[in-house]
Amino acid sequence: MRPNGLKLYATCAALTLAALAPVLWPGYVLVYDMVFTPEQPVNAAAFGLGDALPRAVPVDAVVALMTQVVPGQLVQKVALLAIVFAGALGAGLVVPTDRTGVRIVAAVAYSWNAYVAERLFIGHWTLLLGYAALPWVAMAGLKMRAGEPHAWTRLVLASLPAVLSAPGGILVLGTALATAGRRKAWQVLAVGVVLNSPWWVPSLLHDGLSDPSGAEAFSARAENWGGPVLSVLGLGGIWNAEVVPASRANPALPVITLLLLAAAVFGLRELAKRLPVWPLAGLGAFGAVLALIAVLPGGVAVLEAVIEHVPGAGLLRDSQKWVAWLALPFAIGLAVAVERLRARLLVAVLLLGLLPDLAWGGFGRLEPVDYPADWAVVREKLADQPGDVAVYPLSAFRRFDWNDRRTQLDPAPRHLPGTTVVDDSLSVGGEVVAGEDPRAARLRAGDLAGIGWVLVERGTPGRVDENLLARLEKVHDGPELALYRVPGAVPVEPNGPPVAPVVLAWVAAGSLIGTSLLWRRLPVGRFAAPRREE
């Protein structure tokens, strides 16, 4: 069944503009973990070969390469708009119906909810790209289950935005497994393992262990009297109260959440006659349990033990993100539940009304700003200069006047050429969660070994040791930034993972993507017998 008319596409475009219109203004949206710069450096760390745990791999490499060709702000705007538009459209297209209104309800339910709002406001754009890919991956998985030719190539291409980050890659793998069915599980697993290899290979080659003390700090949070369980079941409940829309305190919300969930379950029962949706619903329930694990009795202790001893288990720390798996069965179930209602579009209005403060970029939360000229000056001075840069004050986050004092990740590693060392420990409500970069730990101890330059960012909280600066040679003194050369600096050898397996992982993932594209275009793919897919 095809979507009828342009109404669905127009609705998705309208939703996108309603949520993100301010993002279109010139400049960069810099909030919490979201950092874009005019031209991100192509360096070893971006490919997972740095000293620190590769948390932003492969997205840093992809953005770095893209910003060599197009300005970073354009990449950011396209990525953010794609999150809402593609997510909404995909959810609308998944529903097997002839009624556009039903598709619109699914589109609104999937793209206009607490999960999207909270993760946008905390700047988790790569996670949201994975979220937006889920409906498309589900469609590819269902085609694989049906034995359609070339369906695996669809799965590869639909997964691409998601595998930019580790959580996104895991989200699509789960969805693909749930939709493709047991008979195709090995094919799906093989695709998932290869496509995700650019992040999991370097992660395994590091020790991959995270500080378990963040398990409780990053656990799901109650947003209203419904407690964390109903907050999470309503697709919210992120740990950070600062990014939660005020409307999540709506006293009617817990009751409405239960009503909507009941309607979605009713709709899934109806939908099960047309689509194999129960595995997807089961995955959604699993995602909700995972999201709530740290608030269940004994959950924190279990989580801390797992994070302390299992490499990569740090992914479970901010576990609310896994409720993303619930969003798709909820959206399509709700849509089918209202299929016979004459006033079904009112349900879409209800969903919009429940979260009015996602509109207009959260009314000031997502507002582009320009980098002060000092940043370009320092970048110019450091171009083609040997030596790594240490950034002070020692803090992962910044709050500048030129960005309306929004909390934002330090932009230096993505703005300056070469390798930049920043403090990667996190403070949550005063509790410090240790970082993973050994060079950052040495900086905290006052050791400048291997550091050729020191950058001091001004106008942000934190102190800088004046005795340290007195030993250095000042080469730039601007209103926002000061740059110092470290006399007699001796470069240190990179201490990242071995290059060969990481390169092999990139080649494997690239080859699979290239083969999928060619398979869809070349005669060998187009005329291949369907049997080959089975």
Partner 1 sequence: MELVSVLVAIVAGAALAGGVGAIVVEQNHPDKVVEQRIDEGVKAQEPEVLDYGSR
Q: Which range binds partner 1 by CB under 8 A, 65-73, 161-169, 240-248, 382-390?
A: 240-248
Q: Min. distance of Cβ 318 from partner 1 in angstroms?
A: 11
With CB under 8 A as the contact rule, the residue among 297, 298, 430, 487 that binds partner 1 is 430
Residue choice 1, 190, 241, 262 for contact with partner 1 (CB under 8 A) = 241
Among 187, 213, 407, 515, binds partner 1 (CB under 8 A): 407
What span, in angstroms and rounded, lies between the C-alpha atoms of 77 and 28? 9
CB nearer partner 1, residue 100 or residue 395: 395
Task: Report the residue from 350, 434, 503, 517 that binds partner 1 according to the rule CB under 8 A.
Answer: 350
* 185 or 249: CB nearest partner 1: 249
Binding to partner 1 by CB under 8 A, coded x per residue (else -) over 26-65, reads ------x---------------------------------
Question: What is the Cα–Cα distance from 230 to 256, expressed in whole angstroms?
Answer: 10
Q: Which residue, 412 or 513, has its beta carbon nearer to partner 1?
A: 412
Output the smallest distance, CB 317 to partner 1, in A: 12
Nearest Cα neighbor of 235 from 333, 111, 88 is 111
Task: Indicate the residue among 67 and 395 with the shorter CB distance to partner 1.
Answer: 395
Number of residues that bind partner 1 (CB under 8 A): 54
Considering only the stretches 18-26, 294-302, 424-432, 470-478, report the one whose residues sit in contact with partner 1 under the rule CB under 8 A.
424-432
| 3-class secondary-structure state, position 32 | strand
Tell me which of 5, 297, 343, 493 binds partner 1, using CB under 8 A: 343
Q: CA nearest 528: which of 27, 92, 153?
A: 153
Asked if 398 touches partner 1 (CB under 8 A), the answer is yes
SS3 content of the chain, % helix, strand, coil (to 5): 60, 5, 35
Using CB under 8 A, which residues numbered 250 to 269 contact partner 1? Answer: 250-253, 256, 259
Q: What are φ and ψ of residue 95, in 5° steps?
A: -70, 125
Any contact of residue 523 with partner 1 (CB under 8 A)?
no
- Partners of 420 in beta bridges: 389
Choosing from 2, 182, 463, 531, the residue that interacts with partner 1 (CB under 8 A) is 463
Is 112 in a helix, a strand, or coil? coil
**C-alpha distances in angstroms, 424 versus 56, 148, 202, 439?**
13, 46, 18, 10
**Block residue for tokens 């990481």:** 502
Segment lying near partner 1 (by CB under 8 A), choices 197-205, 289-297, 306-314, 426-434: 426-434
Residue 451's DSSP bridge partners are 388
Stretch that binds partner 1, among 61-69, 149-157, 237-245, 302-310 (CB under 8 A): 237-245
Residues 26, 147, 282, 353: which binds partner 1 (CB under 8 A)? 353
Q: How many CB atoms lie within 10 A of CB 370?
A: 13
- Single-letter residue type at 265: V
**Does residue 426 bind partner 1 (CB under 8 A)?**
yes
Question: In terms of CB distance, is 21 or 350 closer to partner 1?
Answer: 350
Q: Does 356 bind partner 1 (CB under 8 A)?
A: yes
Phi, psi of 295 (to 5 degrees): -105, 0
Please give the Cα distance from 36 to 29 (Å, whole number): 8
Give the residue with the Cβ less far from partner 1, 304 or 533. 304
Are the beta carbons of 46 and 138 closer than 8 angstroms? no
Q: Count of residues for the chain? A: 534
**403 in contact with partner 1 (CB under 8 A):** no
Distance in angstroms (rounded) separating the CA atoms of residues 322 and 506: 26
- Kindly tell me which residue out of 338, 454, 483, 509 binds partner 1, with binding defined by CB under 8 A: 338
- Residue 474's DSSP bridge partners are 484
**Closest to 63 measured CA to CA, from 129, 109, 18:** 129
Strand partners of residue 473: 485
Question: Residue 237 is encoded by which pair of tokens?
Answer: 């409940």
Residues that bind partner 1 (CB under 8 A): 32, 122, 217, 221, 239-243, 246-253, 256, 259, 338, 340-343, 346-347, 349-350, 353-357, 393-399, 405, 407, 423, 425-430, 432, 460-463
